[in-house]
Amino acid sequence: MQARIILKPGKEKNLLARHPWIFSGAIARVENAQDGDTIDVCDHAGKWLARGYYNARSQIAARVWTWDDAPIDRAFFRARLERAIRTRESLIDRDMTNAYRLVNAESDFLPGVIADRYADFIVLQFLTLGADARKAELAELIGELTNARGVYERSDVDVREKEGLASAVGILRGDAPPDLIEIRENNFRLLVDVKRGHKTGLYLDQRENRARVARDLEGSLRGKPSSSAEILNVFSYTGGFSVYIAAVNADARVINLDASRDALELARANMRLNDCETRGEFVEGDAFVVLRKYRDQGKSFDAIILDPPKFVHAQSQIESGLRGYKDINLLAFKLLKPSGTLVTFSCSGQVSAQMFQTVVFQAATDAQRDAQIIAKLTQASDHPILLAFPESEYLKGLVCRVM
């Protein structure tokens, strides 16, 4: 007998609006389904609604593969992957950029599946049990469709615990990637450690913002009387923003500040690769501590970038997370020169754009700075936001100019 879940009365509403998640509380009854199985989703009267996968261990007990009554087989995944890949071909200028997201999970109707391209290699991440169950098939298909030299798995993410999954890392197909892959991003050269780096190696979601911020700063730094502008890139990781900014602003000096020595080493290598190492500085430390030290020393900067890690991982952490954002933004506002620029981000999905803006406003007020928002930023277009799934919007950025 077909595995299926029957929803409680009225609980089909979100699903009909094409939201792909079914919470355990919405389910009246489960029939013949084991964790990880493909299941049909039916309303209370037994009417067929969608097909997806099931995991009793997760609060999100089911996710939808499709709202069409079609089998979930190789042809299904091939069509989904082809569509996702085709979309990227229209979004990305592949002469300038060869590292980008090919599959963005729910936003591409492939819940739990992430695929990123880094030059000739594909890095896959499986976030859920139902997606993990399709690993072999998906790795093979994406290898074929992209002609990749190798497909590598980086399923070492905390969310897998909620699904009852251990982490998994290694080669799925073809050649092993080298320790560092050189990629091209908007014609900049960047080294990426796909085996040990954060996420799948690079914060691809910031690609468009790196270009945009470098351009904006060029405008605001031009005609400055001082010969060399001082930029502070806090949470620099491997120096993405620094490379763009130093390349576009020939006089700028950029301090990379990060807690990770490995990330800073790569930041240095990346600045060298783009002929701007001599204008880089590399400071290892805790941003909260180092910024306080700079404040006490009376240092100031023409521009500061704040791109911290996710502070909020669950609803229960919102308050403490917002305190973190406030603290760091307050320090940054204090460290800005007159008419300096603050570029500030939050990648916490649970913090809305409005909440984030309010916190940045409170930070400016406490620092006694007047500031204008000159741009609002979001994740790059290869990380699309599905209208029916607002949870897919997570990256928020504000470019503020102090008056």
Question: Which residues are identified as catalytic?
Answer: 347
Question: Distances from the Cα of 188 to the Cαs of 91, 102, 180, 183, 274, in angstroms?
Answer: 18, 20, 16, 8, 7
C-beta closer to ligand SAH: residue 53 or 188: 188
C-beta closer to ligand SAH: residue 133 or 257: 257
Strand order across the 230-234 sheet: 280-284, 253-258, 230-234, 301-306, 336-346, 396-402, 371-378
C-beta closer to ligand SAH: residue 143 or 201: 201
C-beta closer to ligand SAH: residue 131 or 287: 287
| Residue 286 touches ligand SAH, criterion: CB under 6 A | yes
| Residue 287 touches ligand SAH, criterion: CB under 6 A | yes
For ligand SAH, which stretch binds (CB under 6 A), given 17-25, 47-55, 146-154, 303-311?
Answer: 303-311
Contact 68, 109 (CB under 8 A): no
Among 53, 77, 188, 235, binds ligand SAH (CB under 6 A): 235
| Residue 324 touches ligand SAH, criterion: CB under 6 A | no
Among 98, 146, 260, 378, binds ligand SAH (CB under 6 A): 260
C-beta closer to ligand SAH: residue 134 or 210: 210
| Residue 206 touches ligand SAH, criterion: CB under 6 A | yes
| Residue 106 touches ligand SAH, criterion: CB under 6 A | no
Contact 380, 348 (CB under 8 A): no
| Residue 237 touches ligand SAH, criterion: CB under 6 A | yes
Residue where the block lists tokens 């780096």 = 197
| Residue 263 touches ligand SAH, criterion: CB under 6 A | yes
Nearest approach, Cβ of residue 397 and ligand SAH (Å): 10
Distance CA(326)–CA(194), nearest Å, equals 32
Q: Which two tokens stand for residue 213?
A: 């911020």
| Residue 211 touches ligand SAH, criterion: CB under 6 A | no
| Residue 170 touches ligand SAH, criterion: CB under 6 A | no
Q: Where would I find the H helices in 222-352?
A: 240-248, 261-273, 287-296, 318-335
Number of residues located near ligand SAH, criterion CB under 6 A: 17
Name beta bridge partners: 118: 99, 121
| Residue 185 touches ligand SAH, criterion: CB under 6 A | no
C-beta closer to ligand SAH: residue 153 or 258: 258
Closest-CA residue to 282 (of 344, 237, 329): 237
C-beta closer to ligand SAH: residue 30 or 287: 287
Question: Distances from the Cα of 109 to the Cαs of 27, 81, 372, 382, in angstroms?
Answer: 21, 10, 38, 14
Q: Which amino acid is at 355?
A: M
> What angle, rounded to 10 degrees, do the helices at 207-221 and 240-248 form?
40
Distance CA(282)–CA(276), nearest Å, equals 13
| Residue 309 touches ligand SAH, criterion: CB under 6 A | yes
For ligand SAH, which stretch binds (CB under 6 A), given 21-29, 184-192, 230-238, 312-320?
Answer: 230-238
Closest-CA residue to 320 (of 290, 344, 351): 351
Closest-CA residue to 111 (of 156, 63, 164): 63
For ligand SAH, which stretch binds (CB under 6 A), given 8-16, 120-128, 231-239, 269-277?
Answer: 231-239
| Residue 171 touches ligand SAH, criterion: CB under 6 A | no
| Residue 21 touches ligand SAH, criterion: CB under 6 A | no
Binding site for ligand SAH (CB under 6 A): 203, 206, 235, 237-238, 240-241, 258-260, 263, 286-288, 307-309
